[in-house]
Structure 1
């Protein structure tokens, strides 16, 4: 089967996830908001690693830092760590069942939150809210649906 690139779908999904991350929500919802951009980046790293390299992931993270007025490099480092681990484990990760992928991503997002906590602790800035620790659980629930949606859209566009 010939794999065609779907750049329009890739960039539209990244822009949609980016907007989800920067749109203002009430504080209680914002704390539970999953790091959706990391899930979309994870999908594209797994499916098109040659098009979603670490340099692009870093630039996407820097753009999110600028748009969200966070410390420059915070989101870039977080996305880079997630994408780097997925690049290393791609050949095995793609063949896990979706629920195992979801569990692994949840653990990665908890490690990501721990790294964020350490970064903010070193700066003397407290974490925003305790509810943020529930966001990887939502990511665990979202991943199978997001994976199926993007995969179906990518396969439909491949035939064109």
Structure 2
């Protein structure tokens, strides 16, 4: 099925995920919060790789760094690594079942947390709460539903 590009939906979903990342949650709920922005970026990389290139992914990460007042390039590097892996695996990724895709994304997000841990360790900064290591498991549960939701929105916008 040939799908028309939906830039408004793409950017609205990225803004919504960005706001979710910035919305204040209680401490007990903030640590295991999934990296939703990475999941939305992953969806758009898989569906429109020509429109969601690594340059845009890097700029989205830099914007998140600026808003969070975190080390400049921290989120940019993390999103760039996730995006690069997905760009390399994109052609095979569509052949996986939803639970296999979720598992693969969970492994990528665990690798992302290891990169975050190494960056913080090299700066002498403490790692966030231990509950952060549960966030990829939540991402594993969210991915199939997020993929279906964004895909349905995309199909509906095609009819307009």
TM-score bin, normalised by smaller chain: over 0.9
Give the superposition deviation at 1:82: 0.4
Distance of 1:86 and 1:48 partners within structure 2: 12
Give the superposition deviation at 1:123: 0.1
Give 2:18's aligned residue.
18
Give the superposition deviation at 1:94: 1.3
Distance of 1:12 and 1:84 partners within structure 2: 22
Give 1:118's aligned residue.
118
Distance of 1:5 and 1:24 partners within structure 2: 32
Q: TM-score, normalised by structure 2?
A: 0.98
Instruction: List runs of 5+ in structure 2 lacking aligned partners.
Output: none
Give the superposition deviation at 1:159: 2.0
Distance of 2:71 and 2:77 partners within structure 1: 11
Instruction: List runs of 5+ in structure 1 lacking aligned partners.
Output: none
- Post-superposition, which runs of at least 4 consecutive aligned residues in structure 1 deviate over 3 A? none
Give CA-to-partner distance per residue, 1:30-72, whole Å, 9 cap, x none: 1010000000000000000000000000000000001111110
Give CA-to-partner distance per residue, 1:103-144, whole Å, 9 cap, x none: 000000000000000000000001110000000000000000
Write out aligned runs for 1:6-155 (5 A): 6-155=6-155
Q: TM-score, normalised by structure 1?
A: 0.98
Distance of 1:94 and 1:76 partners within structure 2: 25
How many pairs does the alignment contain?
160
Q: What root-mean-square deviation, in Å, do the aligned CA atoms of Structure 1 and Structure 2 show? A: 0.7
3-state SS, counterpart of residue 58 of structure 2: helix
Give CA-to-partner distance per residue, 1:56-110, whole Å, 9 cap, x none: 0000000000111111000000000000000011000012111100000000000
